[in-house]
Each structure stands twice: as structure tokens, then as C-alpha cells.
Amino acid sequence: MEPILPGATIGCLGGGQLGRMFALAARKMGYRVHTVDPMPDSPTGQISDREFNVPFTDIPTLLEFAQGVDVVTYEFENIPVAALDALSPKVALRPGRDVLYTTQNRRREKEFLQLHHFPVAPFRVVQSEVELREAVTALGVPCVLKTADFGYDGKGQQKISEMSDLAAIWRQHGASVGVVESWILFAAELSVVVARGVPDKEGKNPVQVFPPTVNIHENHILATSIAPAPLADSIISRAQHLGAHIAEKLDVIGLLAVEFFLTKRGELLVNELAPRPHNSGHYSFDACVTSQFEQQLRAVCGLPLGETRLLSPVLMRNLLGDVWANGTPDWPALLALPGLRLHLYGKSEPRAGRKMGHYCVLSSTLEQAWELDAQAQKILKK
């Protein structure tokens, strides 16, 4: 399979910040970028050569988009299957249609992981209040009811603490299918980003795995990620091995982010999969030899994968719209902090809980990075 070389045009489905950083990496290496997003002036569109502002259900425009690009990738997975089916015969879609189909639905994702004997929390698929009651009885309380589709940043999740309110919980759920999972008392949350390229002449797919991060969430939204993960080498190695194995079973060409729970007994349980760059991998833009975004480009274009070595301890913190509550933050004061790298996504309207940007703090130790982060937080909260 011949590589897609610089000068070619890459198509990106989705116009958010992940696509923006991917487009920056592509432009740096001499590629052109076309993007599809329903909203004009999207973060990705601002960096692209051409932006198609149509719904993902507009098949004629998607086919026009496909004619002008050499390969298509994406920056989020909630793309209608009909769009994928229309694009697949016309242009290489990496990762492929089946990868998206599996990972955009919690039921299919959990059943795939279970089928291939990957460690997951005990779960049940439910389609009625009666089945919900049976599942909660089997799994015990507390547990959590999740929607099968369109869940992210804690959306579409309800904690169940007792049996008595199940009728109300099912009505509030409002969907025909749900996934009930055991409540995991974890010691840490961590994630790993895996890159898997196109097969070589011997039919082997090159694989590179980024250093895992430990992730801290606030209000169900990722707040900080740190690398190197302050965990035992055996846990880090296990997470990287599982991530690579899942990417192989899914037959990913591109990136796969795997989120884990580390239980208090030292077990790793797969929580979620994302076949794209991941918020917890943003640190790689500043702190790795190759960023996750350049790696996505290399993988989907059939180029050699880059080295993923960590160059410095790093802390990544998300900047939500809440930071703008008292007006524009004091960016000069923030940028005066040593080792701080600021990334803003070009979104015009800050809203509470909306990801507007992030910063990375690079330092000689994680302890020093945390100290600088504390100073940054004081500046942002003035």
C-alpha cells in the first residue's frame, strides 16, 4: 500500500479542537486539510483549506467532500453510520467504518470487549424497567445506568444508590436501551493512546504506544492528566499491552485511546474506547517526540510511526468556559510562568463546562509541575 505523501489532502470529519490540533500537525508537514462540520468557523475549519458546513446526513455533500481528499479520518466518533457507508467505497476511511460502529455505542463496545476477554466491569444490557430492576438486583448497589449512545464527559449517566427509585430512573433515562455497570471503587483512572499503522510488506501493522497518563476528573470532566504516570512499572506495561491488543482486535488504522480504572486490588478494567485523539493525550503535543496528532496523521497516511518517548514530566490541565466568568483571563501573567504552554481552541463563546483550551506545564519533576499549576490556577481565578 503506497503512502499518502505531503502535498496530499486529508479529510477530517468533525470540527472540534481535536481536529484543530490534527490539522495543525498536518499543515506543519505540508498537507492540505478539508473538514466537515455543521457549524461554520469551527476550530478545525479555522485551520483548514476548505470547510463543508453541512450535517453529517447530507450524503451528496459528503460525496463531494470525498472527491477532493486522499484519505478521511475523524475527530469524534458520533457520526451516522449512513455517512460512513457512503464514504467507505469512495475514499479510504481510517479508522474504518466498523471501528466507529463498535465504539460509538456502549453496548456494542462492552460486548466486543467481553467477547475478546478484555477485563471490564460487570455489566448488563437493559431495555425496560423490569430488566433494569433485574440488572440492579444482580449487580448490586451502587451501580450506574448509562445510555448506549452519545455519552461523554459524564453525560447520559445516572448513579443508582437504592432499589426504590428505579421506575423514576428508567423514565428519566428516556432511551430504549441502557447499560448498567457495577460501581467501581478505583484507586486511579488512567488512559493510554495507541497508534496503529497500515500493514507493511510482510502484512504486519506497526504499533506505537504513548506513555500512559493518570487522569483526574472534576464534575465528570477531565481536569488534569499527568505523565509519567506515578504507577508501578507492571501496571504501566499492562495498560500499554492491553491497549495495543485491543487496537489489533478492532483492526484500527489510526489512533485508539483506552481509558482504564485501576482498582484498589491492582486490577485494570477497560472503561471506554475512543478511536481518535484523546483529551488525556494532549500532553504529547508539548512533551513527546511525536504528538498524538502527528501520529494520527502518520498512521492514516501509511507513513512510519514516530517515536513516542516522553521528553519531560508534564501536567496538562483543561481550561473550561468557567475560567472566563470574570472576563478574559490574564494570559500574559499565565504565560510568564516557566514551562507553561498555552493552547486555545478558537471558540468564540465561553460557556460553563465547555472546553475552551488547555495548558501544559513542563518541569523537571511532577512535584514542580504541580506547584506551577497551583500558581496558574491562582492567576485564572482572580
| Three-class SS of the chain | CCCCCCCCEEEEECCCHHHHHHHHHHHHCCCEEEEECCCCCCCCCCCCCEEECCCCCCHHHHHHHHHCCCEEEECCCCCCHHHHHHHCCCCCECCCHHHHHHHCEHHHHHHHHHHCCCCECCEEEECCHHHHHHHHHHHCCCEEEEECECCCCCCCEEEECCCCCHHHHHHHHCCCCEEEEECCCEEEEEEEEEEECCCCCCCCCCEEECCCEEEEEECCEEEEEEECCCCCHHHHHHHHHHHHHHHHHHCCCEEEEEEEEEECCCCEEEEEEECCCCHHHCCHHHHECCCHHHHHHHHHCCCCCCCCCECCCEEEEEEEHHHHCCCCCCHHHHHCCCCEEEEECCCCCCCCCCEEEEEEEECCCHHHHHHHHHHHHHHHCC
153 contacts 146 by C-beta, under 8 angstroms: no
Does 26 have pLDDT greater than 70? yes
Q: What is the pLDDT of residue 88?
A: 95
Tens-digit pLDDT profile for residues 162-188: 887 899 999 999 889 999 999 999 999
Tens-digit pLDDT profile for residues 119-131: 999 999 999 999 9
Cα separation, 296 vs 340, in Å, equals 25
Does 152 have pLDDT greater than 70? no
Q: What is the pLDDT of residue 94?
A: 98
Exposure string (b/e) for 52-79, b if CB count within 10 Å is 16 or more? bbbebebbeebeebbeebbbbbbbbbeb
98 contacts 74 by C-beta, under 8 angstroms: no
Q: What is the pLDDT of residue 151?
A: 57
Give the chain's domains with CATH numbers: 9-93 (3.40.50.20), 122-182 (3.30.1490.20), 186-380 (3.30.470.20)
Tens-digit pLDDT profile for residues 351-363: 999 999 999 999 9
In the chain, pLDDT over 70 holds for what percent of residues?
A: 98
What residues have CB less than 8 Å from 267, skipping those under 6 apart? 119
Sorting pLDDT into bands at 50, 70 and 90, what band is 154? low
Tens-digit pLDDT profile for residues 249-265: 999 999 999 999 999 99
The pLDDT of 271-298, averaged and rounded, is 98
What residues have CB less than 8 Å from 66, skipping those under 6 apart? 11, 72, 87, 90, 91
Cα separation, 45 vs 43, in Å, equals 6
Does residue 220 or residue 239 have the better pLDDT?
Answer: 239
pTM of the predicted structure, to 2 decimals: 0.96
Sorting pLDDT into bands at 50, 70 and 90, what band is 1? confident
Does 337 have pLDDT greater than 90? yes
Does 376 have pLDDT greater than 60? yes
Does 333 have pLDDT greater than 70? yes
Exposure string (b/e) for 260-281, b if CB count within 10 Å is 16 or more? bbbbeeeebbbbbbbbbbbbbb
Q: What is the pLDDT of residue 150?
A: 64
> For all residues of the chain together, what is the average pLDDT?
95
Q: What is the pLDDT of residue 155?
A: 64
Q: What is the pLDDT of residue 162?
A: 81
The pLDDT of 98-123, averaged and rounded, is 96
Give the phi and the psi of residue 276 in degrees, each rounded to 5. -170, 175
